[in-house]
Amino acid sequence: MRGARTAVIGLGNMGAGIVRSFARARVPLLVWDIDSSRAAELAGLRGVAVAEPAEMAGSCDLVIFVVPSAKEVAQHLRGKAGILANGRRGTVICDFTTSDPASSRKLAALAARKGMAYLDAGMSGGAAGAETGNLILMVGGERRAFERIRGRLGPITRRVFHLGPSGTGHTLKLIHNLVTHAAFLATCEGCRMAEKAGIRLEDVIGVFNVSNARTYASEVRFPRHILSRKWDARSRVFNLLKDLSMAVRLGNRLGADASCARLTRDFLERAAALGMLENDYSLLYRDFDRIVRSRSRRGIRL
C-alpha cells in the first residue's frame, strides 16, 4: 500500500517492543501512550513520531492497540477526539489486547458503522517476541481486512493465523493463556514436590526438557527467570489473574468444562490476597508454598 502509515497506541513492554521491531524494518510510525514519557523515549527512533489518537486516525490506515484491555480500546475509539470520529473509511483497527470476545464483537460492530474494520488479534510470544519480531497472532474478524494488512505485520510476527469471524482471535487467546498458565503452575507444583524429595531444581528441569514433561515453562521460564533467580518474566500476577478470570467466564458462557481454569484462577486469587498483584509472575514459584498455605484466605476477583 503506497503511502500507507501505521499507528501504535500503548507503549508498555509489548507496545514498545513492537515499535522497535517496526522501526528496525523502517516502517513509518505514529505512536502514543497515556504516559508521555514512554512516547518520548521512542520518538528518537528512525521514522517514529508522536501524535494524538485523533491525528493518527486522519493519517493512518492501520491502527494497532497494545493497551491493557478492551475498555481502553473503546475509550480511544469513541468521542469527538476518538479514532472513529476522525478516521478514514477503510482503516483497519487491530486490537492486540487479551479481552473478552463479547467485548471484541461489540467494538467490531461499532467500527463497521464508520466504515472501518476491527480485528481482534491475540498475541503469543511475550515481551521478548515483541522485541525480536517473533510474535504469533491469532486473528478474528473480516477476512478481506485481514488480507489487506497481513503483509504489513511481517516485521513484528513469526506466524499469523486467521481463525474466523470477530471474536475468534480473542477467544483462542484466552484458551491459549489458560493452557499456558495452568501448565506453568503444574510445573511449579511438580518442581516444589521434587525439591521436597531432595532433588535439585536444576535436575528436575533438565529431565523435563528432554522428556514428555517439557513445556514452555520448563524450557524458557524456569531457566531464564527462576533458575537464574532474576524473577523477570516481565508480566504481572495481575495479568494472569485477569486472563484466567475471563477464561472461566468464557467457559461458563460456552457451557464448557473449565475445571483447570478455575483451579489456576483460585491459586492466583490467593496470591493476589497476599499482595502479589503487581509482582512479576515468576515469583509465584519463589512464594509457591506460602500461597498454598493461604488456601483458606479469601481471594481477590477481577
Residues 235 and 178 reside in one and the same domain: yes
Residues 117 and 192 reside in one and the same domain: no
Confirm whether 273 is domain-assigned.
Answer: yes
Q: Is the pLDDT of residue 184 over 70?
A: yes
d(CA 274, CA 299): 9
Residues 269 and 210 reside in one and the same domain: yes
As a whole-number percent, the residues of the chain with pLDDT over 70 amount to: 96
Confirm whether 239 is domain-assigned.
Answer: yes
Q: In this predicted model, what pLDDT tens digit does every residue of 63-73 receive, in sequence order?
A: 999 999 999 99
d(CA 232, CA 20): 20
Q: Is the pLDDT of residue 302 over 80?
A: no
Residues 158 and 277 reside in one and the same domain: no
Confirm whether 121 is domain-assigned.
Answer: yes
Longest dimension (CA), the chain: 64
Q: In this predicted model, what pLDDT tens digit does every residue of 106-127 receive, in sequence order?
A: 999 999 999 999 999 999 999 9
Domain limits for position 224: 171-293
Confirm whether 108 is domain-assigned.
Answer: yes
Q: In this predicted model, what pLDDT tens digit does every residue of 197-256 receive, in sequence order?
A: 999 999 999 999 999 999 999 999 999 999 999 999 999 999 999 999 999 999 999 999
Residues 178 and 154 reside in one and the same domain: no
Q: How far is C-alpha 114 from the chain's CA centre?
A: 27
pLDDT the model gives residue 1:
36
Site of grid cell 493461604: 294
Q: The CATH number of the domain where 266 resides is what?
A: 1.10.1040.10
Q: Is the pLDDT of residue 296 over 70?
A: no
Q: Is the pLDDT of residue 74 over 80?
A: yes
Residues 22 and 78 reside in one and the same domain: yes
Confirm whether 299 is domain-assigned.
Answer: no
Q: The CATH number of the domain where 131 resides is what?
A: 3.40.50.720
Residues 133 and 219 reside in one and the same domain: no
pLDDT the model gives residue 2:
41
Residue at a domain's end among 129, 149, 165: 165
Number of folded domains in the chain? Answer: 2
Residue at a domain's end among 165, 192, 210: 165
Residues 101 and 51 reside in one and the same domain: yes
Mean pLDDT of 28-36: 96
Say if pTM beats, i.e. exceeds, 0.85.
yes
Residues 45 and 115 reside in one and the same domain: yes
Confirm whether 301 is domain-assigned.
Answer: no
Residues 188 and 246 reside in one and the same domain: yes
Residues 140 and 15 reside in one and the same domain: yes
**Strands, sheet with 117-124, edge to edge from the N-terminal-most edge strand:** 48-50, 29-32, 6-9, 62-65, 92-95, 117-124, 135-140, 157-164
Residues 35 and 96 reside in one and the same domain: yes
* CA torsion through residues 134, 16, 114, 105, sign: positive
Confirm whether 15 is domain-assigned.
Answer: yes
Confirm whether 298 is domain-assigned.
Answer: no
Residue at a domain's end among 131, 165, 199: 165
Spell out the residues 6+ positions from residue 241 whose beta carbon is closer than 8 angstroms to its own: 265, 268, 269, 271, 272, 277, 300, 302
pLDDT the model gives residue 4:
58
Spell out the residues 6+ positions from residue 253 whose beta carbon is closer than 8 angstroms to its own: 102
Q: Is the pLDDT of residue 47 over 60?
A: yes
